[in-house]
Amino acid sequence: MMANTSDRFILQTRNLNLWYGERKALANINIDIQPQRVTAIIGPSGCGKSTLLRCFNRMNELLPGIRIEGQVLYNGEDLYGSNVDVTEVRYRIGMVFQKPTPFPKSIFENVAFGPRIHGLTENLAERVERSLQQAALWDEVKDRLHHNALGLSGGQQQRLCIARALALEPEVLLMDEPTSALDPVAAGKVEELIVNLKKRYTIVIVTHNLQQGARVADTTAFLLGGELVEIGPTSEMYTRPRDNRTEAYITGRFG
Amino acid sequence: MDSLKRRTTHRKRWDRLFQGLFGAATLFGVVALLLLITDILRKAAGWIDLQFLTSFPSRFAEDAGILSALAGSIWLIGLTAPIALPLGVASAIFLEEFAPQSSLTRLIQVNIANLAGVPSIVFGILGLALFVRALGAGRSLLAGALTMSLLVLPIIIVSAQEAIRAVPDSQRQAALALGATKWQAVRSVVLPAAMPGIMTGTILALSRAIGETAPLIMIGALSFVAFLPSGPLDQFTVLPIQIFNWTSRPQEEFSHVAAAGIVVLLVLLLVLNSAAVLIRNHYRKRFEA
Amino acid sequence: MEKHETTRVSKALVKGVPLDGKGNGVHHESPPLGNTKPRPAEAPVRGLLFLSALVSVMTTIGIVLVLATEAVSFFKTVSVFDFLTGTKWTPLFEPKSFGIMPLLAGTLLVALGASLVAIPIGLASAIYLSEYSSHRVRSWVKPVLEVLAGVPTVVYGYFALTFITPILRRVFPEMSIFNAASASIAMGIMILPMVSSLSEDAMRAVPRSLREAAYALGSTRYEVASRVVVPAAASGITASFILAVSRAIGETMIVAIAAGATPKLTLNPLESIQTMTAYIVQVSLGDAPYGTIEYKTIFAVGLLLFLMTLGMNILGQWVTRRYREVYR
Ligand SMILES: Nc1ncnc2c1ncn2[C@@H]1O[C@H](COP(=O)(O)OP(=O)(O)OP(=O)(O)O)[C@@H](O)[C@H]1O
Ligand SMILES: [Mg+2]
């Protein structure tokens, strides 16, 4: 039942097509994501990066008028299979959004949110602390865990959202431009965090910032007009792109 | 050039004239409210005392009191809120979070808008036929509360819908991305965030219910109650009905008693509305902190 | 239900990433998706929410059914034609007569009177609040209007009877104590906030660019208001009038207290009259025995009242939608 394809990959798409109503947003995407690596998805605005990312935890389904063809495999299993519970998918594959989205609750309750709704209330305080530590936020908030999370700075809020996702011990963390709403210092901290997290988690990150992509990603995928142009080791991609459209994008000629 | 200048002065004169007229019209509402309040306070002066607040109604103006009506109003609100609030909030949640985009949903929505415009006395007729007679609740507090619940339901639904709609979508998405089911996202993220708005809307709806007279006359609330209701199946009166009764009496003194009753009613409304404002401000602070 | 979740998840945890997992290879031991117990089903919750939403629909159906069944039984005794065209309304004493005209006339007379107060003043104050007033003035006038809208109608009735009537009677000594004029004025004050705030909303929806274009041509504020803003907001303003009049038609306590109980086909506001709503109150106060023709009149009159206000509300909403569309 498991692993009918190479189990070197944790997430794979097979001929993935996606339409928003009449408009085609993803065309025939075949992409393989390696476990415990950081994979960056780059490409000009509107090329479908967020759309692709949201296919990995089925967040796309929330939109009306959306149509998906092809397969997304998770450890070789069809994520969209009829026996798959979408909440379980999102429990195993976490997501961090572009803008920090703390709930207007205490810092503790924010991190405890996922465990609570999944019934993981044993050793909750430990779990919260561990998650905050992994998100490199613990030292800054340990004295005010019960203060409202909206009182944190933007960068702290984003790390809180990462901690909130980590509290479920997901296998994969999807991040959609997680630093673009942050100032450079805060963005640097989050970036550092991402590099550390890949020891434990598989990370797929969408970024507009090519330097950031170069710094954090092991693998980079370049998307253009809903198509996957090229995917490969980041260093190769940035120095010797195989496709001249990739080269054009990386050298800043469009996008 | 000269005629242009004259015309401009002329136009400016019109402009000022109308600014005065429009301003006066705006003042009209303010003045009307001031007149109304001072008139009632003047007539009530000397008639509101401990005796008035603690006595049952009486044939004699000096002995008449508001106690049973005040108790009835509080009972009525106490019974209406727990019926109307869950129903209204649940309807709003359904319409905003779960309803498919179907013609049935649209029908429900249009229906709510129209129900809000149905004269309150028509709700009274419904209450009379449905709760008093068909369901056999009689002329009880329960029948009154059920009638009032239907009456304020559209107000609660609409304000709850607005409050729910105001919760940013990113909050829902964040909850869903953590593997919450739709209902979990609504219950633990959307509802808490919408709660201040829902509470303010509910309190305003309840103020409406406190001031309503006609539907309760229809379901047969009494106007002379010399006892305190002890349960939802008891007969009752409420402040506006008591005031109506006093107003209808020919003797001049009862006009003062009625004014005193109005002051009590207005104070009760003031208390409720201040609570609504306090709740709103309290939560607003919490959200921004 | 909650239990299922816990077991499911802890199983996933055992096989999945250990809490302090070092990583390597552990992921591949994670269990396949979908072999776990489903979480608490949402269907029952959704069903309950749906049922709640149906209550308001059932209310409408209930109103229509209740009014219609008793009215049908009433119209077995009295023909619809006689009811609608008859000019004498004496159901409570012999010889009984069931012509709704006097009640209808009374209702419309008071509604008209109320409109004469509320429409010009409401419109003018809406123009002031939208086009002239400073933020500070608005911020204290609006709450005052809200309070005015929140005053219980029984209080307006009292005000009409004990304040407005005595003043009017100084001017018109022949006026009866209960009269249409006082009720109209009080009701006009009551619906004034509605006209004012709905009209103001419509005017504020007029795009700034239209105003600026007119100001750029050297128009005065009055010219901008009267030639640009009001015409552009005309349908919204009209809707506010319609909804306010509908409200006046359905209003009960002011007329029950101050307008009298004399069904009369008259246009003279100084006389005592009776409206449809006041009649319904009169019957239910008088304890008409269940099942009698007097009892059934409530439903016939109620049905007519319901249809009239419903028609106006639908019209009002339709007009409102139209103005929204214009500026989308
Ligand atoms: N909800 C939606 N409905 C319709 N079209 C959409 C929707 N979301 C995205 N699209 C379209 O799909 C295409 C891909 O959008 P997507 O958000 O994935 O781009 P992106 O690469 O993430 O862009 P950006 O860098 O600006 O975030 C775009 O052309 C966009 O207009
Ligand atoms: Mg994007």
Ligand 1 in reach of A63 Cβ (< 6 A):
yes
Q: Which amino acid is at B216?
A: L
Q: What is the ipTM of this complex?
A: 0.93
Q: Does C186 touch chain B if contact means CB atoms closer than 8 Å?
A: no
Ligand 1 in reach of A49 Cβ (< 6 A):
yes
- Atom number in ligand 1 closest to CA A48: 18
pLDDT tens-digit series, residues B93-115: 999 999 988 999 999 999 999 99
Residue bearing the CA closest to ligand 1, atom 7: A20
Q: Could you tell me which residues come within 8 angstroms of residue B138 by beta carbon, excluding any fewer than 6 positions away?
A: B132, B233, B235
pLDDT of residue B252: 86
Tokens coding C104? 């209808």
Ligand 1 in reach of A45 Cβ (< 6 A):
yes
Q: Could you tell me which residues come within 8 angstroms of residue A126 by beta carbon, excluding any fewer than 6 positions away?
A: none
Domain ranges of chain C: 116-322
- Cβ–Cβ under 8 Å, residues C71 and C304: no
Angle between helix axes A154-166 and A107-117 (nearest 10 degrees) is 20
Q: What is the whole-number distance in angstroms between the Cα of residue A50 and the centre of ligand 2?
A: 4
Q: Does C6 touch chain A if contact means CB atoms closer than 8 Å?
A: yes
pLDDT of residue C27: 41
Locus of tokens 């608005």: C138
A residues 202-241 closer than 8 Å to B (CB): none
CA–CA dist B242, A69 (Å, integer): 69
Q: Which of A166, A12, A180 is nearest to B178 (CA)?
A: A166
CA–CA dist A211, C301 (Å, integer): 77
Q: How far is CA A42 from CA A157, A197, A226, B210, C282, in A?
A: 24, 20, 12, 61, 76
Q: DSSP string of A148-175?
A: BGGGS-HHHHHHHHHHHHHTT--SEEEE
Can you identify the CATH homologous superfamily of domain C116-322? MetI-like (1.10.3720.10)
% of chain A residues with pLDDT over 90: 74
CA distance B142 to chain A (A): 38
pLDDT at A150 over 90: yes
Tokens coding B74? 């509080």
Q: DSSP string of chain B?
A: -HHHHHHHHHHHHHHHHHHHHHHHHHHHHHHHHHHHHHHHHHHHTTT-SHHHHH----SSGGG---HHHHHHHHHHHHHHHHHHHHHHHHHHHIIIII--SSHHHHHHHHHHHHHTTS-HHHHHHHHIIIIIIIS---SSHHHHHHHHHHHHHHHHHHHHHHHHHTS-HHHHHHHHHTT--HHHHIIIIIHHHHHHHHHHHHHHHHHHHHH--HHHHHTT--S---S---STTS----HHHHHHHHHH-SSHHHHHHHHHHHHHHHHHHHHHHHHHHHHHHHHHHHHH-
% of chain C residues with pLDDT over 70: 86
Report all structural domains of chain A as residue ranges with CATH numbers, in order of start.
2-250 (3.40.50.300)
pLDDT band at C326 (very low <50, low <70, confident <90, very high): low
Can you give the length of chain C in residues? 328
- Rounded to an integer, the average pLDDT of C235-262 is 94
Ligand 1 in reach of A18 Cβ (< 6 A):
no
CA–CA dist C18, A130 (Å, integer): 13
Residue of higher predicted confidence among B4 and C319: C319
Q: Does C179 touch chain B if contact means CB atoms closer than 8 Å?
A: no
pLDDT tens-digit series, residues B217-259: 999 877 777 788 888 999 999 999 999 999 998 888 899 999 9
Q: Could you tell me which residues come within 8 angstroms of residue B287 by beta carbon, excluding any fewer than 6 positions away?
A: A104, A150, B193, B196
CA distance B230 to chain C (A): 24
Tokens coding A157? 């809020």
Ligand 1 in reach of A46 Cβ (< 6 A):
yes
Ligand 1 in reach of A195 Cβ (< 6 A):
no
C contact chains, 3+ CB pairs < 8 A: A, B
Q: Does C1 touch chain A if contact means CB atoms closer than 8 Å?
A: no
Tokens coding A196? 């550390």
Q: Which amino acid is at C301?
A: V
Among all residues of chain B, which has the CA nearest to that of C9? B179
Least-confidence region, from A77-91, C5-19, C190-204, C236-250: C5-19
- Cβ–Cβ under 8 Å, residues A102 and A155: no
% of chain B residues with pLDDT over 90: 69
pLDDT of residue C61: 97
Ligand 1 in reach of A50 Cβ (< 6 A):
yes
Ligand 1 in reach of A26 Cβ (< 6 A):
no
pLDDT of residue C89: 92
Residue bearing the CA closest to ligand 1, atom 12: A25
Residue A65: how many CB atoms within 10 A of its CB? 9
Contacts of residue C16 in chain A, CB cutoff 8 Å? 92, 169, 171
Ligand 1 in reach of A60 Cβ (< 6 A):
no
Ligand 1 in reach of A51 Cβ (< 6 A):
yes
Least-confidence region, from A105-119, B4-18, B174-188: B4-18
Q: Which amino acid is at B253?
A: E
pLDDT at C13 over 50: no
Ligand 1 in reach of A97 Cβ (< 6 A):
no
The stretches of C151-232 forming alpha helices (DSSP H) are 153-159, 165-171, 180-204, 208-216, 221-223, 230-232
List the Cα angle A67/A72/A74 in 5-degree steps. 145
Contacts of residue C46 in chain B, CB cutoff 8 Å? 94, 98, 183
pLDDT band at A254 (very low <50, low <70, confident <90, very high): low
- Rounded to an integer, the average pLDDT of C232-237 is 92
Q: Does B36 touch chain C if contact means CB atoms closer than 8 Å?
A: yes
pLDDT of residue C25: 34
Tokens coding A63? 């939109």
Q: Cα A211 from chain centroid? A: 18
Q: Given an 8 Å threshold on Cβ–Cβ distance, is A119 in contact with C5?
A: yes
Least-confidence region, from C6-10, C43-47, C224-228: C6-10
Q: Does C251 touch chain B if contact means CB atoms closer than 8 Å?
A: yes
| Residue B140, Ramachandran bin (φ over 0: left; ψ between -120 and 50: alpha; else beta) | beta
Residue B250: how many CB atoms within 10 A of its CB? 7
CA–CA dist C328, C321 (Å, integer): 11
Least-confidence region, from A1-10, A230-239, C241-250: A1-10
Most confident of the ranges A230-239, A244-253, C303-312: C303-312
Of B87, B111, B255, the CB nearest to C57: B111
pLDDT band at C14 (very low <50, low <70, confident <90, very high): very low
For chain A, give the mean pLDDT: 91
In Å, the largest CA–CA distance within chain C is: 101
pTM of the model: 0.89
pLDDT at C190 over 70: yes
For chain B, give the mean pLDDT: 91
pLDDT band at C32 (very low <50, low <70, confident <90, very high): low
CA–CA dist A191, A189 (Å, integer): 5
Q: What is the whole-number distance in angstroms between the Cα of residue A42 and the centre of ligand 1?
A: 14
Of C16, C23, C33, the CB nearest to A84: C33
CA–CA dist B202, C72 (Å, integer): 37
- Cβ–Cβ under 8 Å, residues A118 and C5: yes
A residues 38-57 closer than 8 Å to B (CB): 57
CATH class given for the domain over B52-288? mainly alpha
Q: Which amino acid is at B285?
A: K
CA–CA dist B72, B241 (Å, integer): 10
pLDDT of residue B286: 57
pLDDT at C247 over 80: yes
Contacts of residue A151 in chain B, CB cutoff 8 Å? 289
Locus of tokens 């906030």: C193
The verdict on whether omega for the bond into residue C166 sits within 30 degrees of 0, i.e. cis, is: no
Residue bearing the CA closest to ligand 1, atom 3: A20
DSSP conformational letter for C96:
P
Q: Could you tell me which residues come within 8 angstroms of residue A240 by beta carbon, excluding any fewer than 6 positions away?
A: none
CA–CA dist C243, B116 (Å, integer): 11
A134 by Cβ neighbours in 10 Å (0-12 / 13-18 / 19+) ranks as buried
Q: Could you tell me which residues come within 8 angstroms of residue C274 by beta carbon, excluding any fewer than 6 positions away?
A: C89, C102, C103, C106, C255, C259, C260, C261, C262, C263, C264, C282
CA–CA dist B72, B40 (Å, integer): 23
A contact chains, 3+ CB pairs < 8 A: B, C
Among all residues of chain B, which has the CA nearest to that of C38? B181
pLDDT at A34 over 60: yes
B contact chains, 3+ CB pairs < 8 A: A, C
Q: Given an 8 Å threshold on Cβ–Cβ distance, is A57 in contact with B175?
A: no
Residue of C252, C313, C321 to mutate when probing chain B, most B C-beta within 10 A: C252
pLDDT of residue B176: 95
Q: What is the whole-number distance in angstroms between the Cα of residue A46 and the centre of ligand 1?
A: 5
pLDDT at C150 over 60: yes
- Cβ–Cβ under 8 Å, residues A48 and A223: yes
- Rounded to an integer, the average pLDDT of B19-27 is 93
- Rounded to an integer, the average pLDDT of B4-21 is 86
pLDDT of residue C313: 94
C-alpha torsion angle, residues C319, C324, C326, C328 (rounded to 10): -160
Ligand 1 in reach of A207 Cβ (< 6 A):
no
Residue of C56, C127, C200, C285 to mutate when probing chain B, most B C-beta within 10 A: C56
Among all residues of chain A, which has the CA nearest to that of B182? A87
CA–CA dist A147, A153 (Å, integer): 13
Can you give the length of chain B in residues? 289
pLDDT at A3 over 90: no
Among all residues of chain C, which has the CA nearest to that of B111? C57
Ligand nearest to the CA of A223: 1
B residues 39-98 closer than 8 Å to C (CB): 39-40, 43, 86-87, 90-91, 93-95, 98
Exposure b/e, A184-220, CB count within 10 A at least 16 = b: eebbebbbebbeebbebbbbbbbbbbbebbbbbbebb
Ligand nearest to the CA of A227: 1
- Cβ–Cβ under 8 Å, residues C313 and B114: yes
Most confident of the ranges B1-10, B43-52, C14-23, C30-39: B43-52
Contacts of residue B22 in chain C, CB cutoff 8 Å? 124-125, 127-128, 131-132
DSSP conformational letter for C251:
-
Q: Given an 8 Å threshold on Cβ–Cβ distance, is C53 in contact with B36?
A: no
Residue bearing the CA closest to ligand 1, atom 26: A45
